[in-house]
Each structure stands twice: as C-alpha cells, then as structure tokens.
Amino acid sequence: MRLSRQVMTPIWILGSTLLPSGAQAHSFGQTFTLPVPFELYAWASSATLILTFLLMGLKGYLSRGELVALTMKPDFEFEDISRRSLLSVILAGLSIALFALAVYSGIAGTQRRTDNLNMTYFWIIWMLGLAYLSGITTNVWKTINPFLAICQLWDALLKIYHREQWRKPKPLELPDAWLHILALVWLFVFAAYELFGNSKPFDLSVLLLVYLVYIFAGSQLVGLKVFSQKACFFSMYFDLLGRCGKSLRGMLTFSTPAEPHLLTHLRSVVPALFVVALFSTTALDGLLDTEYWYKTVWPAFASLYADYFRPDLVLALNNPLLTAREIGPMFKALEKAMLFIAPASLAMAFFFALFLAQQITKSKLTVWQLAQAFAPTLMPIVLVYSFSHYFTLLLTQGVQFAHLLSDPMGRGWNIFGTYNLWRAPVLLDAQLIWHIQVGSILMGHMVSAMASHSMAFKLFTNKKHANLSQVPMLMLMIGLTLFGLWILSQPLQMGT
C-alpha cells in the first residue's frame, strides 16, 4: 500500500520469484546486505513451521465429530443507535466528524498527497493503524464505522421528525453469498484504485462518497443490520482481523475467546476468497517496486512478446523508449488482469490443499465447507504480511496525522495547535526493520499453523486424520512464508 501508482506482474513469471536470489533487502529505499544468506532464513523458517506442525500433532486431541463446528455465529453484535453506550455514541460522533473533515479536505484542500488529511486518514490510520489494532485486540471498527453511524443517524432523525408517517419498508431477503460477493467486489475496487489509480485526495473523497451512497442504498433495500455486516468490504475486513485479536487473547489467557474467532466458520465460501484476495493483493503490491520487477520481469515479457507477436521489434529491444512505447501498453493490460489472476491462482492452490486433505481423511465435508472452516485460520498470515510490508508507513507518514489534524487542507493552518507536532518521520535502522519483518511473518505463520491444527481436530473424528489433513496446509504455509520473505529480501528499484 503506497501513496503512488503501482502495477501488477504476470503469473507465469511469478513462479521464478521463489528461487533464491541476492541477499539484500528493502525498506524506506534503504538497501543493505542481510546478516546471513537468504537461504538460511528460508531453511530456518521452514524448520520452525515443521516443528510447530509436529508439536501440534503431539498435542492432538479427539473432536466430537464432523460438522459439530458448522453452526454459524453472527459476524458481530449489531449496535442499534438507541442502545449504544455513551462512550460508543461519542466515538461514533467523532468518527463521523473526522470522516466528513477528511472527505471535505480531499475536495477543497491541496492535492499534494502527503499534505492532505484524507490520504493519511484513509490509507495509513484507517487501513493500517485500525487494522493492526483490530488484529491484536478486537474488532474496533464496529464501534467507529462512520458509514454505519451515518445511516443509523439518518434512521434516528426520520423517527424523530416523521414519527407518525415513518414506516421502514420490508427489507429484501438475499442469500448471504450474494451480499458477500458485493463486499469482495469492493475489495477489488479499492485494490485497483490503490494500485492503478494514481490516487489524489479529490479522487479518494469521491470514492468514499460513492461508497457511502452504496451503503446507504443497500441498507434501505436489504436492511442496515444485514447489509452493513455482510455486504460491506470494511466490515468483513475488520471482522476477519478482529478474529485474530480475540484468538490471540484466548491463547495468552488460556481461555476460550468470544465468537467469532479463528475457529468460527465463515457463512459462505465467498469470504474465503476474500481472505485469499487480501493476501494476494498485498504480496503483489510488495513485489511491484523491487528491482526484480523492473530488471527481470519487464525485459522477459518484452522479449517473449516480441518473439511471438512483434518480430519486427526483436532487434530493437535494446532501445528502452521504443520498447516501452510499442510493448508497454500490452504489458500494462496484463498487469491489470493480474489483479484477478493472482488471487485466482492462490485460491486454486488453497482449494487443492483442502482437496488433498479431504481425500487423505475421506471426510464427508465438501471442499467448500473445508474452505469455510480453514480460511479464517489464514488471517494471521494476512495480518503479519500486511504489517511486515507497511508498518514503516505508520512511522513515516502516520506520525504526520497529528499536524494534519490542525492543517487538514494543507493551507498552513494550526487549528488545534499541533501543526509542529511530530513533523519528522521516525526512521529505523534497515537491519532492525528486516528482523521485525522476519519475526512478524514467522510468528503469524506459526499462529496460523496452530489455528489450522485446532480446526482440524474440531472437524475430523480422530487424531490421525486431523494430523494428516494438515500436511497439505503445511506445504501451502511454507510456500507462503518463503514467498513473503523473498519479496522482503529484494532491493527496491531506485525512485519507487
């Protein structure tokens, strides 16, 4: 996630990124030599996951039988505005005010990304800060969701001023999967906007207003409670992250976490695809600024394209301007298609692992039911993968939020007296950043492996089946670990 334009990579070239490469790493544009060769990190990480697998297998216990855990729980408890606590009402009101300020700043303020409140508010504080907070505590979004609060406020005003005439229409009843598909579509909308949109504050404000209209219209047709839970991209995103926080507290306190948590089944298979898409878009975003992308992927594509479709350009490939002009548009078209191809490829790998687990255990559960069960256990991987790639943005651009509150439009104001507060970015040593990244990725994969094992013991009738079912999942997690570490170990292309 960056405040600049990104591009996507061809799937047939992505396979080569799993090969060991130079022992350098990136963060903030700093390039440094890793303390030990990358291969040692890869072997150590793989060994740690295998050890976790073996320890969980030894811990094994018998479940009560298949399908015992397939009772669905609500995604989160709905807070009616008339039942909100005073603190909840205050937080919701502040959230509405901040949302309105950010949207207005994007429309009327400077279009310099780092000097306008709305870019930092949405991409850094909202999509990163709140996400990480939810991932280690609980789903805080349900309390401060500005879209939900605005719709609740609208309904409350209608009740007050049109008490006698006001009658809420009967909501449409739609399958959960249909509503989940809408949330998944919006995930791709925001991902495409961030990767290809060359976003400006004005554009982001328009997009947020369009999304507000979408939530408002959907809540009128389907019902606010149902629509805000099941068709809202942000609600699904933060609900899945909140499951990590609840499960983490349960592990630390040796208690059973409140529903929903990592061992709570999803309502349909669509949120499983949502989880896969979250990982895929983050991984691709991390790959796009590496030297490998610019110095290996692009030349390889240009050469193959010229060989098969433009033989007249084969001898001109050494001319970068001509190559970019003639082949660049096709490459960019393929890059945009990769927004869908990459998640689809990872989804096939995930479903294939579940298919192998089904065949090994001879389970009566379908692959789709297994996906609903095991997809939440991948969320710790999604969380730490996002954290390892983006946490430095909280230290560089995130700290600017204090002074941007006083000068939201970039006009030199000092409304709250915080204009000169935390202006300098917090820069960490590159080697320290690398070790934080490695540690977080490894920890997240270990938590996922433990959660996946626990789910297996809930679903399958004996210890042997539960353990064997995790072998394909272990292979998938090792692959994701190595791929994530490989991306982080690559030097950034200068100027990105």
Q: Read off the pLDDT of residues 472-484 as tens digits, 9 standing for 90 and up.
A: 998 999 998 888 8
- Looking at 258, 274, 302, the residue that finishes a domain is 258
| Co-location of 40 and 142 in the same domain | no
Per residue in 167-177, pLDDT (tens digit) is 667 788 899 99
- Answer yes or no: are the C-beta atoms of 21 and 297 closer than 8 Å: no
Query: For residue 353, is it within any domain?
Result: yes
Cβ proximity of 225 and 74 under 8 Å = no
The pLDDT tens digits for 308-326 are: 988 888 888 888 888 888 8
Per-residue confidence band for 163, with pLDDT thresholds at 50, 70 and 90: low
Paired strand residues for 30:
27
- Considering the domain architecture, whether residues 214 and 238 belong to the same structural domain is answered as yes
Among 226, 258, 290, the domain-final residue is 258
- Same domain for 54 and 92, yes or no, is no
The one-letter amino acid at 231: A
Say what the pLDDT of residue 75 is.
Answer: 46
The pLDDT of residue 481: 87
* 426 inside domain: no
Confidence of residue 60 (pLDDT cuts 50, 70, 90): low
Rounded to whole angstroms, how far apart are CA atoms 35 and 37? 7
The pLDDT of residue 181 is 96
Burial of 253 (0-12, 13-18, 19+ CB in 10 A): exposed
Q: Read off the amino acid at residue 101.
A: L
Same structural domain for residues 436 and 450?
A: yes
Residue 257 CA to chain centroid, in angstroms? 23
- Its domain, for residue 247, covers 73-258
Distance, CA of 174 to CA of 182 (rounded, Å):
12
Residue 414 inside a domain? The answer is no
One domain for residues 320 and 444? yes
Round to whole Å and give the CA distance between 380 and 384.
Answer: 6
As a whole number, mean pLDDT of residues 270-281 equals: 95
Q: 492 has which bridge partners?
A: 290
Task: Please tell me the predicted confidence (pLDDT) of residue 206.
Answer: 96
Co-location of 177 and 311 in the same domain: no
Domain membership flag for residue 415: no
pLDDT band at 58 (very low <50, low <70, confident <90, very high): low
* Structure tokens belonging to residue 337: 């298609």
Rounded to the nearest 5°, which phi and psi values hold at 27? 180, 130
Q: Which pLDDT score is estimated for 167?
A: 62
Mean pLDDT on 423-443: 87
73 pLDDT band, cuts 50/70/90, is very low
3 state SS for the chain? CCCCCCCCCCHHHHHHHHCCCCCEEEECCEEEECCCCHHHHHHHHHHHHHHHHHHHHHHCCCCCCCCCCCCCCCCCCCCCHHHCCHHHHHHHHHHHHHHHHHHHHHHHCCCCHHHCHHHHHHHHHHHHHHHHHHHHCCCCHHHHCHHHHHHHHHHHHHHHHCCCCCCCCCCCCCCHHHHHHHHHHHHHHHHHHHHHCCCCHHHHHHHHHHHHHHHHHHHHHHCHHHHHHHCCHHHHHHHHHHHHHHHHHHHHHCCCCCCCCCCCCCCCCHHHHHHHHHHHHHHHHHHCCEHHHHHHHHHHHHHHHHHHCCHHHHHHCCCHHHHHHHHHHHHHHHHHHHHHHHHHHHHHHHHHHHHHHHHHHCCCCCHHHHHHHHHHHHHHHHHHHHHHHHHHHHHHCHHHHHHHHHCCCCCCCCCCCCCCCCCCCCCCCHHHHHHHHHHHHHHHHHHHHHHHHHHHHHHCCCHHHHHHHHHHHHHHHHHHHHHHHHHHHCCECCCC
| Nearest alpha-carbon partner for 430 in 5, 33, 1, 20 | 33
Residues 117 and 187 in one domain: yes
Going by C-alpha positions, the residue among 177, 222, 182, 183 that lies closest to residue 372 is 177
Does the pLDDT of residue 36 top 80, yes or no? Answer: no
What does the block give as tokens for 35?
Answer: 């303390």
**Cβ pair 134, 242 in contact under 8 A:** yes
Higher pLDDT, 286 or 205: 205
Asked whether residue 87 carries a pLDDT value surpassing 90, the answer given is no
Q: How confident is the prediction for the chain on average, in pLDDT?
A: 82
Domain count, the chain: 2
What confidence tens digit (pLDDT) does each residue in 7-35 have? 333 333 333 333 333 444 444 344 556 66
Give yes or no: residues 229 and 276 share one domain: no
Q: What percent of the chain has a predicted confidence (pLDDT) above 90?
A: 38
Residue 381 dihedral angles phi and psi, to the nearest 5°:
-65, -45
Domain shared by 238 and 361, yes or no: no
- Does residue 336 lie within any of the structural domains? yes
Integer-rounded Cα Rg, in Å, for the chain is 24
In the prediction, which pLDDT does 24 show?
45
Q: 269 lies in a domain?
A: yes
With 0-12 CB in 10 A as exposed, 13-18 as middle and 19+ as buried, what is 146?
buried
What value does the mean pLDDT take over residues 192-218?
Answer: 93
pLDDT in tens, 378-410: 999 999 999 999 999 999 999 999 999 999 999
Using alpha carbons only, what angle is made at residue 216 by residues 213 and 217, rounded to the nearest 5 degrees?
A: 85
For residue 196, tell me if it sits in a domain: yes
* pLDDT above 70 as % of the chain: 85
284 shares its domain with 360 = yes
71: pLDDT strictly greater than 50: no
Domain limit, last residue, from 258, 275, 298: 258
Whole-angstrom distance between the N-terminal and C-terminal Cα of the chain?
A: 12
Kindly state whether residues 62 and 99 are assigned to the same domain. no
CB atoms near residue 158 (< 10 Å): 14
For residue 304, tell me if it sits in a domain: yes
pLDDT at 8: 33
> 118 near 205, Cβ under 8 Å?
yes
Range among 353-357, 444-448, 488-492 rated most confident = 353-357
Q: How do residues 92-115 score in pLDDT, each as one tens digit?
A: 899 999 999 999 999 999 999 989
Burial class of 418 by CB neighbour count within 10 A (0 to 12, 13 to 18, 19+):
middle
Q: Are the beta carbons of 378 and 448 closer than 8 angstroms?
A: yes
Say if residue 214 is in the same domain as residue 270: no
